[in-house]
Amino acid sequence: MLAGRPTAANRNVSSGPRTAALVPAQRATAAVLVGLLLLAACRQPTPVVLRASRPLMGTLVTMTLEGRDEAQLGRARDAAYAEMQRLTAMLSHYDPGSVVSAINAAAGGAPVPAPPELLHVLAMARAVSVATAGAFDITVGSLRGWRFGTEPGPPPDPAQVRAQLALVDYRQVLVDPVAGTVRLARPGMRIDPGGIAKLYILDAGLRTLRRHGVDSAMINGGGDVLVAGAGRAEPWLIGVRDPRAPARLLGVIALRDGIVASSGDYERFLEHEGRRYHHILDPRTGYPADGPRGVTLVGPRPETVNGLGAAIMALGAKPGRALIERRPELEGLIADRDGSVWMSPGFRRLLR
């Protein structure tokens, strides 16, 4: 040791002039090195944190960005919001000028040219529909009698639900990827990509941030949270809402990179004559799903989780657990109507 007390092994051994000459020099060198290290540590720049919130897709989309250059973070933020706004305008069925609205208006008629982004979203939607035997179906947009927006209305007449339910069939969305067109086979059909497009749009925002050099960011949009943490010393902490009491958290998930997506009957609903109707419709019945109260899923990519929360709400807790257990990259929580909460082993390990 440079400046320590002699050990038992060398206590009776003459150290000679070599050791006596080196100890002060080594002490001085160590002091210089420690001083330099402390100076370097003090000069490390403090990470810049930039936060922003903007209305988008009928919800508030918030960002938290971390980096070294505030101007760069600002440019990345603006580019990400611009890209998400572009995709929202393209994929919204509320906007009469969108491609989706054009496809709906042409239902039963000629194919409509569609951009690659929409073709990708439709391919994702079809994959989820096939995997869940139709428990997720974007043609649920054909059920036009339900109003859960800012001006909710009473439930539609049962005869109207029955008539429009005949138009709900994802297999009648005819996509030609070579020609780049989409056609709805039957007049009156409508697609509503909202149940799968939101996560795709948020992921496009995160990818835009990465292209602008931001490798540490969180985007939160209406129950879906995406994080990138390559530049962080610690993982992001994401709160998990208790579907049985939405104001309360069950805990937080520690995640460095990935997605946490939540679906629940507490998000949007209407009340009529003492009964509560939530906005997640079962494509097989035409009415709000009567499965679990809420579902939270964790996965590495949008394709891992997208659309599955709504499908599990329709399928029920037991089939939902089986679906999660069959997918090795997927972890999940299901809060059932009887008050019970099930978590996959991997989800339980992530929860703090």
Buried b (16+ CB within 10 A) or exposed e, 147-156: ebeeebeebb
Q: Looking at the domain assignment, is residue 262 inside a domain?
A: yes
Q: Which of 76-80, 98-102, 154-158, 325-329 has the lowest mean pLDDT?
A: 154-158
Query: Is the model's pLDDT at 292 over the cut of 90?
Result: yes
pLDDT for residue 21: 45
Residue 147 lies in a domain: no
Quick one: angle between helices 194-211 and 116-131, nearest 10?
Answer: 130
Report the domain count for the chain: 1
Q: Which residues contact 77 (CB under 8 A, 6 or more apart)?
A: 50, 52, 63, 65, 209
List, for residues 105-152, the tens digit of each pLDDT value.
999 999 999 999 999 999 999 999 999 999 999 999 999 877 776 666
Please report whether residue 110 resides in a domain: no
CATH number for the domain harbouring residue 253: 3.10.520.10
- Does residue 285 sit within a domain? yes
pTM summary value: 0.84
Assigned domain for 311 exists? yes
Residue 329 counted as domain residue: yes
174: exposed, middle or buried (C-beta count within 10 Å: 0-12, 13-18, 19+)?
exposed
Q: Assess if residue 96 is contained within a domain.
A: no
For residue 273, the model assigns a pLDDT of 66
Strand partners, 184: 173
Is the residue at 336 inside a domain? yes
Domain hosting residue 245, numbered range: 234-352
pLDDT given at position 27: 47
Mean pLDDT of 191-207: 95
Over residues 62-84, the pLDDT tens digits come to 999 999 999 999 999 999 999 99
